[in-house]
Structure 1
Amino acid sequence: MAGKTRETACENANGEIDAAEAQARHRARPCPICKAPSAYDYRPFCSRRCADVDLSRWLSGHYAIPGGDADEDEDGDLARTEDLMRSEPRDDI
């Protein structure tokens, strides 16, 4: 694989991806949750359980993308949303 780029590491001379090579490459990376060898069917995870743990972390807000302060919103969208959330429920909606 010397001299090949990451994108072409699993391609044969016809440009087709070699499934065995692709599986081996994915198995080489450990599961990001438990560090066990990853399984091709659940890549990049080792099992359905680890995939579900990761999904739960995303849904619970454990993973977050850093951003600026909420007060720095230039067009006031956040302020309007907060005002709407604080207002009483409306019957006409």
Structure 2
Amino acid sequence: MLAPETLVRHELAGLSVRVVDAAHEGYVGVEGRVVDETANTLLVEDDSGVMQVQKAGATFEFALDDCETGDVSYAVVEGERLVARPARRTELTGDSKWR
């Protein structure tokens, strides 16, 4: 189940996200849907296009919809916790530091 506590172990593509703080001022306030992810960046799409945001040095707020209740909760995550290949970060076995 996708919850704020387990967000870093899940696929981020498709989630709504907002950059709440960043070392690069141009990233602050970027808001939209995650359309892709690399080891070091999130690609966030809004009405004006897609922006590539560096994970390290940024703080993200993800909106998590509860399909059963319709409630929305928010998870604030330091970008450094997301820096890794998506497949490596989300794996459940092996020597991943995200287990």
Structure 1 length as normaliser, TM-score?
Answer: 0.23
Higher strand share: 2
Higher helix share: 1
Greater Rg, structure 1 or structure 2?
1
Structure 2 length as normaliser, TM-score?
Answer: 0.22
Larger RCO, structure (CA 8 Å, separation 6 or more): 2
